[in-house]
């Protein structure tokens, strides 16, 4: 009894420390002074929407700003007139909260506030909720019980959270995914939005909007910096961390995910084996893999490899992109596939920064482009096929029409100006793909060239890859708004 009372007293004290606005009426300056993610303007309306009784589940990988977004949300709630004493923040991974049910933590917080029996509206934030076993059952019960409370939870094991949210929280949870920093956000957070301006791109069904730049040299410099350091907000604004980003990212992201999060969530015993596999994938991000080849190179059984890749996808460290043939149909047997880091700066952390002339720059540019697409969950693939005489055909990104199961757009990602100068010899595979599928338009990226080439088989629209990545990221943000009706 004495021990239980002592623990409860410590929990009450910890709740006071974690909620300084109860007495100071503002969030800590450490968070208040940080520049908000652009996704906050989409997330916040979901939080204040009390018409629908749902908890908000903020998902995303480590260190992309989920906790900061929660504090910025709290800051905005206070600015909008919500009483600071009606806002409760609880970091579930705090050791002293171990095995304490969410409802008990909520009631203890109200006890501290002297509102144990209050029926007022509360906003309750549970950070890193995946560390509580059966959290989804606990949270669903809270949503059903406390009609005057808006519950917001965050977690880093995105796929695991999504699975449990879908299974147990149907009709009670709204999922919100926060990706690593996009190139669109990176440009604006660094204060270079004035470099960009919109342009109209000719397309088969009418013009579409893209972006160009007034200074391609500066934009390309920003793009290379983004590939090396840009996926994490803390790295973007800290020159000290940029001096040794590997230490920050390895310790705070990779090690915690590979050595703590995944083993605890999935019962992985050989973490060294998983770590070695991830390092290999990171080094070859954007390359084509097979389970047989990976098994031979790593010494890991194929069935185990499949599980490991699923785990790495669950932790939002990698993304597997399926292979399609020259008609964009999936192969009956999944022999080959590509693996991309969801955040290109993970490679820099493990190895070294890349330069614009590096041998691996092509793969890392492609990784950065895919990083802008991945949060959208679009039906995309890469096309790869045999053309005869031992030649291979490949197109980097293909959009699949879900209804017709046919390709309706294609993009060839290049870090080179040669295709613009000589498209006939440099873009043979793209020509084959367009002719085979009746595509009349395609996008080809370059280092610095903008313009179009009217070929016998269709129109090729060229744009710098940095402009393309910026445009995709901007549209990904807009797509998120539309998916929530904003």
- Whether residue 486 is predicted with pLDDT greater than 70 in this model: the reply is no
- Whether residue 254 is predicted with pLDDT greater than 80 in this model: the reply is no
What is the pLDDT averaged over residues 134-159?
Answer: 88
Sheet holding 380-388, edge to edge: 288-289, 337-341, 318-324, 380-388, 391-401, 406-412, 441-446, 458-464, 451-455
Kind plus residue range of the DSSP H or E element containing 458 = strand 458-464
For residue 164, name the pLDDT band (cuts at 50, 70, 90). Answer: low
- Whether residue 329 is predicted with pLDDT greater than 70 in this model: the reply is yes
pLDDT at 429: 96
Q: What is the mean pLDDT of the chain?
A: 89
pLDDT at 1: 39
Distance CA 115, CA 12 (A): 14
Distance CA 274, CA 306 (A): 11
- Count of C-beta atoms within a 10 Å radius of residue 188: 17
Distance CA 474, CA 372 (A): 9
pTM, two decimal places: 0.90
pLDDT at 3: 44
Each residue of 389-420: pLDDT tens digit? 778 899 999 999 888 889 989 999 999 999 99
What is the pLDDT averaged over residues 74-79?
Answer: 98
Distance CA 445, CA 466 (A): 9
């Amino acid at each position: 009894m004495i021990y239980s009372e002592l623990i409860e007293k410590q929990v009450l004290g910890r709740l006071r420390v974690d909620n300084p606005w109860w007495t100071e009426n503002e969030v800590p300056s450490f968070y208040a002074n940080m520049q908000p993610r652009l996704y906050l303007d989409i997330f916040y309306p979901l939080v204040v929407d009390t018409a629908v009784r749902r908890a908000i589940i903020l998902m995303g990988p480590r260190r992309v700003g989920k906790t900061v977004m929660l504090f910025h949300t709290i800051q905005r709630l206070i600015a909008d007139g919500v009483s600071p004493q009606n806002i409760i923040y609880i970091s579930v991974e705090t050791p002293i909260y171990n095995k304490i049910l969410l409802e008990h933590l909520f009631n203890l917080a109200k006890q501290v506030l002297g509102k144990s029996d209050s029926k007022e509206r509360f906003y309750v934030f549970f950070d890193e909720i995946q560390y509580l076993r059966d959290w989804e059952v606990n949270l669903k019960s809270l949503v059903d019980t406390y009609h005057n409370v808006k519950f917001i939870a965050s977690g880093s094991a995105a796929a695991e959270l999504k699975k449990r949210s879908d299974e147990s929280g149907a009709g009670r949870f709204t999922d919100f995914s926060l990706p690593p920093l996009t190139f669109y956000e990176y440009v604006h957070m660094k204060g270079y939005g004035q470099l960009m301006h919109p342009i109209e791109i000719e397309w088969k069904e009418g013009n579409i909007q893209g972006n160009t730049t007034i200074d391609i040299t500066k934009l390309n410099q920003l793009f290379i910096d983004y590939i090396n350091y840009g996926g994490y907000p803390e790295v973007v604004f800290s020159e000290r961390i940029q001096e040794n980003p590997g230490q920050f990212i390895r310790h705070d992201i990779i090690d915690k995910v590979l050595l703590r999060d995944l083993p605890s969530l999935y019962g992985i015993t050989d973490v060294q084996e998983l770590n070695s596999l991830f390092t290999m994938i990171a080094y070859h991000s954007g390359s084509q893999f097979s389970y047989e080849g990976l098994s031979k190179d790593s010494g890991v059984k194929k069935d185990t490899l499949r599980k490991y890749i699923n785990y790495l996808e669950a932790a939002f460290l990698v993304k597997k992109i399926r292979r399609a043939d020259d008609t964009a149909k999936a192969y009956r047997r999944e022999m080959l596939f590509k693996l991309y880091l969801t955040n290109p700066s993970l490679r820099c952390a493990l190895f070294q920064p890349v330069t614009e002339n590096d041998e691996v720059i092509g793969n890392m540019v492609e990784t950065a482009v895919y990083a802008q697409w991945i949060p959208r969950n679009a039906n995309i693939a890469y096309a790869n096929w045999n053309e005869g005489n031992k030649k291979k055909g490949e197109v980097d990104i293909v959009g699949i029409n879900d209804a017709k199961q046919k390709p309706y757009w294609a993009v060839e990602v290049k870090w080179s100006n040669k295709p613009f100068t000589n498209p006939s010899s440099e873009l043979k595979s793209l020509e084959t793909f367009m002719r085979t599928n009746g595509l009349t338009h395609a996008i080809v990226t370059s280092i610095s060239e903008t313009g179009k080439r009217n070929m016998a088989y269709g129109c090729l629209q060229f744009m710098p890859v940095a402009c393309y990545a910026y445009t995709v990221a901007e549209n990904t943000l807009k797509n998120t708004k539309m998916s929530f009706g904003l």
